[in-house]
């Protein structure tokens, strides 16, 4: 589709957002990520039935843990879209990047 999205986005592919565990979200921040987001299938469309729903619960839990740790749960997000929706993907990547830019760099001193 030749749509562009910010080069600062690093993509890690997983077979389903349900594969992402809470610890992965925290470790991404530990490693210095300024923001983390999960991009999963629309509600009801999960090929593995409820992987995206489990991921959603883990994201909520991780946000609370990140608030406690002092990095802020608002740096973590989750988006739902269809796997083929390139336009929406580029849009949410731009949205997320803009949001993280406003929040500033991660408070973790590198």
Partner 1 sequence: MTKETEMIVADRKPFDEIMKMISPYEKILLLGCNECVTVCAVGGTRETALLASQIRIRRQIEGRITDVGEKTLERQCDPEYANTLAESLNDYDVVLSLACGCGVQFVAENYPDMPILPAVNTRFMGVTEQAGIWSERCQGCGNCVLDRTRGICPVARCAKSIMNGPCGGSHGGVCEVNDTLPCAWQLIIDRLKARGELETYNEIEKPRDWSTSRDGGPRKRIREDMAL
50 part of the interface to partner 1, by CB under 8 A: no
23 part of the interface to partner 1, by CB under 8 A: yes
Q: Is 78 exposed, middle or buried (0-12, 13-18, 19+ CB in 10 A)?
A: buried
8 part of the interface to partner 1, by CB under 8 A: no
Per-residue buried b or exposed e for 92-106, using 16+ beta carbons within 10 Å of the residue's own CB: bbeebbeebeeeeeb
108 part of the interface to partner 1, by CB under 8 A: yes
DSSP 105: S
- Least distance from C-beta 28 to partner 1, angstroms? 10
Q: Which positions touch partner 1 (CB under 8 A)?
A: 21-23, 26-27, 29-30, 65-66, 68-71, 107-109
């Amino acid at each position: 589709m030749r749509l562009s999205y910010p080069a600062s986005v690093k993509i890690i592919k997983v077979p389903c957002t349900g594969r992402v565990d809470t610890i992965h979200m925290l470790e991404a921040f530990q490693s210095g990520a300024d923001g983390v987001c999960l991009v999963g299938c629309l509600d009801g469309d999960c090929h593995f039935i409820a992987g995206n729903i489990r991921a959603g619960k883990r994201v909520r839990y991780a946000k609370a843990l990140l608030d406690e740790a002092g990095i802020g749960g608002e740096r973590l997000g989750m988006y739902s879209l269809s796997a083929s929706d390139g336009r929406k993907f580029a849009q949410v990547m731009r949205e997320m990047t803009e949001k993280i830019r406003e929040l500033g760099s991660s408070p973790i001193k590198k």
